Amino acid sequence: MANMQDVARLAQVSVSTVSYVLTGARPISAATREKVRAAMAELGYQPHAMARGLASRRSRILGLLLPIDERGLGATETAFVTGAATAASAAGYHLVLSPVDAGDLDGLRQLASQRMLDGVLLMEVQLDDPRVGVLRSAGVPVVLIGRTADTTGLSYVDIDFDRTVHDAVGYLADLGHRRIVYVNHSATAIAEGYGPALRSRDAFATATAGRRIEPVMIPAEDSPGGGRAALASAFDRAPDLTAVLAMNESAVFGILGGLAAHGRTVPDDVSVVSMVTSPQVAELATPALTTMTSPGTAVGRIAVEQLLRHLGAGSTDSAGSTGSTDSAEIHQQLLPCTLEVRGSTGPPPTLTPAPTGRRSAHP
């Protein structure tokens, strides 16, 4: 396979010239540039990625770190991944998928010290995530997908849970619902500081308080079974519920099944909104689910773009300060989920049989 020497020889220039036409790091006369281009084409030359990486100290490889549990990835997470992969590829970067157990800090440190990754995207971020510290002190630029509790000096792209929950509650309340049950992720996830669970919970408390609605919140395992169980206790605590707001894509199908088992029709008796959900999943249900549609691939794409911007500047700390990467370049962005009304929502039952004008029937 042809290398740079071969190209230089054929084009009758020096290797450095070839290198410079490739990188564009310094002006080359149009004439020589063409000679070189021709030579490259004739030889089918492709720069050797590792050699280039070694010399330039830039691998052009990004890491996507995610703990891969047995349950595998959900549709939303998968969208993050494909979005990131596509964006990286479009920018001429490679994206390596690194399954690192959340607890395996040494493995992470090792990975970071191999100098194979120009930067990393961190998924499944916990509120207090030790991986962030490890990565920073290893001098690897990081962009979080999700975010920690303290985001000082950190770049992240995350879903705007506040606004998502707020909008969902607003939508339901405007429809006339007053008894809204919020089904969260599992108690374990909450205890472990899983950001989305905590943030959406608080947002629900706030949103309901603002509308003088009593907040009923129930945790659920991330599975249809968990959803059924959650629904059972929902009926215990709020027998008169008219709407369910699910923060749990996996549990929501169990909720639907449970509702049917309880003899409740969706949306006539009970409305259901599924948050942070992909259209593909929404369409699986009958009736199709009204959702707060997750930004999907945009999250991964933007995260990559931001990471790339960080790389554009300086990546390694000049003096090994275990502090910030480079405070100037920090980018923090929240993307909202957007309401998509499908078939699982409607006005609450008490209002349904009361058409306009009926209210003043008996003056």
Partner DNA sequence: ATGAAAGCGCTAACAG
Partner DNA sequence: CTGTTAGCGCTTTCAT
Contact residues for a second copy, defined by CB under 8 A: 1, 44, 46-51, 53-54, 59, 61, 64, 68, 71-73, 75, 78-79, 81-82, 85-86, 89, 94-100, 110, 113-116, 223-225, 250, 253, 256-257, 260, 278, 280, 283-286, 288, 296-297
Supply the minimum distance, in Å, between the C-beta of residue 114 and a second copy: 4
**Judged by CB under 7 A, does residue 20 bind DNA?**
yes
- The smaller minimum CB distance to a second copy, of residues 67 and 193, is found at 67
Residue 338, binding choice from DNA, a second copy, none, Cβ under 5 to 8 Å by partner class: none
Rg, Å, the chain Cα set: 26
> Segment 40-69, which members bind DNA (CB under 7 A)?
45, 47-48, 51-52, 54-57
Yes or no: say if 231 and 262 are a contact pair by the CB < 8 Å rule.
Answer: yes
Q: Which residues of 119-144 are buried (b: 16+ CB within 10 A; e: fewer)?
A: bbbbbbbbbebebbebbbebbbbbbb
Binding status of residue 27 toward DNA by CB under 7 A: yes
List all residues 6 or more positions away from 181 whose beta carbon is below 8 Å from its beta carbon.
216, 217, 218, 234, 237, 238, 241, 243, 244, 245
Query: By C-beta, is 218 or 281 nearer to a second copy?
Result: 281
Nearest C-alpha neighbor of 344 from the set 263, 252, 261, 238: 252
Kindly tell me which of 19 and 148 has the beta carbon lying closer to a second copy: 19
Q: What angle do CA 203, 205, 211 make, to 5 degrees?
A: 105
Of the candidate spans 5-13, 256-264, 321-329, 351-359, the one that interacts with DNA by CB under 7 A turns out to be 5-13
* CA 87/CA 286 separation, integer angstroms: 34
- What minimum distance in Å lies between the beta carbon of 203 and a second copy? 26
Nearer to a second copy, 88 or 169 (CB): 88
| DSSP tag of 288 | P
Token pair of 70, please?
């047995």
**Residues 174 and 237 sit within 8 Å (Cβ to Cβ):** no
Interacting stretch for DNA, rule CB under 7 A, among 11-19, 77-85, 157-165, 250-258? 11-19
Task: List binders of DNA among 269-328 (CB under 7 A).
Answer: none
Q: Read off the tokens for 283.
A: 């369409």
Return the one option of DNA, a second copy, none that residue 253 interacts with (CB less than 5 to 8 A, by type). a second copy
Structure tokens that stand for 75 in this block: 């549709």
E strand or H helix that includes residue 43: helix 30-43
- Give CA angle at 350 (170, 214), nearest 5°: 45
Q: Which is nearer to DNA, 33 or 309 (CB)?
A: 33
Q: Check if the beta carbon of residue 250 is closer than 8 Å to that of residue 226.
A: yes
Q: Which does 331 bind (CB under 5 to 8 A by kind): DNA, a second copy, none?
A: none
Q: Which stretch binds DNA (CB under 7 A): 21-29, 64-72, 147-155, 298-306?
A: 21-29
Any contact of residue 31 with DNA (CB under 7 A)? Answer: yes
Residue 191 binding partner per list DNA, a second copy, none, with a CB distance cut-off of 5 to 8 Å that depends on partner kind: none
- The residues binding DNA (CB under 7 A) are 1, 3-5, 12-17, 19-20, 22-23, 25-29, 31-33, 45, 47-48, 51-52, 54-57
